[in-house]
Amino acid sequence: MRNTLPLSILMILIASVSCKNDQKAPRALARAEWLQGDWINESPNGNLTESWQKKNDSLYHGQSFFIKGKDTIHFESIVL
């Protein structure tokens, strides 16, 4: 019994720490507010367009297109 008590206390402490709700992610993602909207980069090689939308306090969705002439060279869908 004496040896199991410290082990039991340790297990309870580990379980309580692992259940901690971390609020750093939404705060860190809030720094990306400037990303929202449409971004266009025109060059002789083609046009790169990005469009970003904030879906909620912890999710951004973006789409990126690289168009040369009338062809879409690259398309990307991004979730942050």
For the chain, the structural domain boundaries read: 32-80
What tens digit of pLDDT does each residue of 24-52 get? 666 777 788 888 999 999 999 999 999 99
Q: What average pLDDT is seen over the chain?
A: 82
pTM summary value:
0.62
Secondary structure string (H, E, C) spanning the chain: CCCHHHHHHHHHHHHHHHCCCCCHHHHHHHCCHHHCEEEEEEECCEEEEEEEEEEECCEEEEEEEEEECCEEEEEEEEEC
